[in-house]
Every structure is written in structure tokens, then in C-alpha cells.
Amino acid sequence: MATMDKISVAGLLPEELSALPGVSPQFRGKQIFKWLGNGAASFQEMRNLPQHLRDSLSETAAVRSSQIAQELRDPDGTVKLQITLHDGACIETVLLTDSSGRKTACVSCQAGCAMGCAFCQTGKLGLARNLDAAEIVEQFLYLEQVSGKLDNIVFMGMGEPMMNLSAVRKAVAVLTHPEGRGLSARRITVSTSGIIKGIYDLADNGPHMRLAVSLTTADPELRERLMPVTKGNPLPELQKAIAYYTEKSKKRCTLEAALLAGMNTGTASAERLIEFARGLDVHINLIPWNPVPGLPFAEPSAAECTAFVRLLEKARLNVTLRTRRGRKIGGACGQLGKITVE
């Protein structure tokens, strides 16, 4: 697999584009940035640049560093792209459409993941490497290329965003920049397995995206078994970090829980979760476990999910039970990384 010999531009800000060889005067950087945000797939399309600049940039720089290897479509409207990075690493990115037609990009920030959550396909793979900002931005641009303008972006694909925060920040800076794609920070969600240091870092230094924390369970022993991250990031401290983030960002956080049949859906689990959520301003998002072959978990029945929801609602918690999407193409939460190239 060829390694990258050209400069990759999708992760650069206007001032960085202006500093590329041959890009002058200064305002050319802004022009290129604007084209990139509009989804231009080559320098030749950038009609307001002089031909000699388009030619020289085509020689030295690349608008895309990655390639779509395969596009899969689920009958429910979910689209999954399998993307090959310049060094041959593979990632996946998903487009979800909700019942009101809003489109959300679910992007990856790492190839694989080191966190080792017991119920997750990506966790089974282990970590290959961090993505750079361009590789993150390109996923969004590719999804817009195949599906038109998107409304939201969630860092809920492969990988743990807090373990690659600088690239996530840079990608967000590019996507939210008013001279480019101009996405609002309100439309960006970062989902973490509960890395406390990262939550404080984002709270103190921004950007203040929406924060989702994958709690799964508030039972410390069970959580430690399911999510090894719990060991260095204990639940009481995590709870404080979420409260701090809410206060600093003035945004309501989300607690996510993958529902595992017979494991974290009983009355005792509900009580623990209620206790954890008490005093926090949170929304609770429940995701019935999506099957991953070879993992020792089972899907909860509809009745089991509904009973759990009722228990939380009785305690006046704000709860959503997520509908299953993208499962026919292995594009649902926790299923990413099953490479099905024919």
C-alpha cells in the first residue's frame, strides 16, 4: 500500500493552507478552504484559483488522503462506508437518518480501539492507530458526497475520542470554521467510555461539544468487568466530571447504556443508574445490544428493554430507547470493524 507522499489538506485551516508552497497571496488559503468545505474533490474544480496554482497543488497536495473501499446501504436508510487509509488501515463511517429525516454522520477517530470494552466489536480489534484530522474530516465529506448535506456529527464510530483529542479538536475546528463547512458546535457530539482527564480538558479548554458518556452500568464491579477503563476512572469521579462539564458548557450531557440481556437491565441495575444520575442534568440513551459474533452477550427482548425504561421513567429520568438502525450492514453501534469486503 502506498504511503502518503503528498500533503493532505482536508485537515488544514485557512492560515495553514495559505502557508503551503506556492499559495499566495494570503487570501488563496481561504478560497481553497471554502472549496474543501463545499466538498470539492480535486484542485482542478477550484475555479477561482489560477490554473498554475491548481496544477502545482495537484502535484504536491491531496484533497483526499483516504479512499472509499465499499459503500453499503441498509434498507432502513443507513449507509456505511468502508474507508482505506493511505497506509492500508481500514475504518468505517456511518450515516444515520432519523424518523424526521435528520442526517447524522457517525465518524471514527481511531482505527480500532484500545479500551477493550467486552461487548464491542471495535474493542475486539485492539488499536491499530490514531487517525489524523484530515482522515476524520474526510469521513464527513465522503458521507456528504454520497448523501447530501448532513445535520449532525457524532464521534461514536470506531475508537475513543479522548485518546486522540488533538486530532478530534483539529477536525472540529475545520468543520465548524465559519469560512468553511461552518457546522455548529451544538451539532457535534463526542462520546467517551469515561476518560475523566479528557472530560475536564474539554470542559476547561473547549470546544464545548455535546458530551455523551458510555456508562453501560453504574454498578462498579460489573462496569469494571465490562469496561476496563473503569479501573483508572472510578464512577464517583466520573460523576463529578460530568457535573463539571455540564456547568462549564451549559449543555445537558447524555449517559449511554448498551443493554445486555440479563446483565444490566434488572431492578438493581436501574436503582444504581438512578442513583448515579441523581443530581446530574442528563438524558439517558439506551441502546439494545447489537450482536457481535463470538461475544458472550445476548440481545435483550423488547419487554426487557421496556421494563427497564419504565423503572427509569418512574424515577423521573429523561430516557430514550434507541431504535435499531443499520444492523443488516454491520453499521449499528458497537458493530464497526467487521470488514466485509467481497
List, by residue number, the catalytic residues.
92, 333
**Partner touching 290 among ligand SAH, ligand SF4, none, CB below 5 to 8 Å by kind:** ligand SAH
120 binds ligand SAH (CB under 6 A): yes
Beta strand pairing call for 253-259 and 282-288: parallel
User: Closest Cα to residue 10, out of 140, 104, 112?
Assistant: 140
Smallest CA-to-CA distance from 326 within 140, 175, 156 is with 156
Binding residues for S-adenosyl-L-methionine: 159-160, 191, 214-216, 290
Q: Which of 51, 47, 79, 46 is nearest to 63 (CA)?
A: 46
Residues 209, 168: Cα–Cα separation, whole Å: 11
* Binding of ligand SF4 by 193 (CB under 6 A): yes
State yes or no: residue 130 binds ligand SAH (CB under 6 A): no
The CA distance from 82 to 340, in Å, is 9
Choosing from 144, 160, 219, 256, the residue that interacts with ligand SF4 (CB under 6 A) is: 160
Cell matching residue 42: 480535486
Can residue 120 be called a binding residue for ligand SF4 (CB under 6 A)? yes
Looking at the Cβ atoms of 271 and 299, the one nearer to ligand SF4 is: 299
CA distance 122 to 120: 6
> Residues at the annotated binding site for [4Fe-4S] cluster?
113, 117, 120
Which run of H or of E encompasses 200?
A: helix 196-205
Closest CA to 279 of 311, 242, 314: 242
Contact flag: residue 337 with ligand SAH (CB under 6 A): no
As measured in angstroms, the least distance from the Cβ of 214 to ligand SAH is 3
CB of 250 to ligand SAH, least distance (A): 22
Residue 3 is given by DSSP the state -
Residue 191 near ligand SAH by CB under 6 A: yes
Binding site listing: 113, 117, 120, 159-160, 191, 214-216, 290
Chain centroid offset of residue 2 CA: 27
Q: Which three cell numbers stand for residue 215?
A: 456508562
Of 8, 18, 93, 122, the one binding ligand SF4 by CB under 6 A: 122
> Please, what is the minimum distance in Å from the beta carbon of residue 113 to ligand SF4?
3
- Side-chain-facing half-sphere of 12: CA atoms under 13 Å: 22
Residue 233 found at the interface with ligand SF4 (CB under 6 A): no
CA pair distance 198, 209, nearest whole angstrom? 13
Among residues 78, 130, 152, 214, which is the contact residue for ligand SAH, using CB under 6 A? 214
Contact residues toward ligand SAH (CB under 6 A) are 119-120, 156, 159-160, 191-193, 214, 216, 256, 258, 287, 289-290, 292, 333-334
Contacts to ligand SF4 by CB under 6 A: 113, 115, 117, 120, 122-123, 159-160, 193, 214
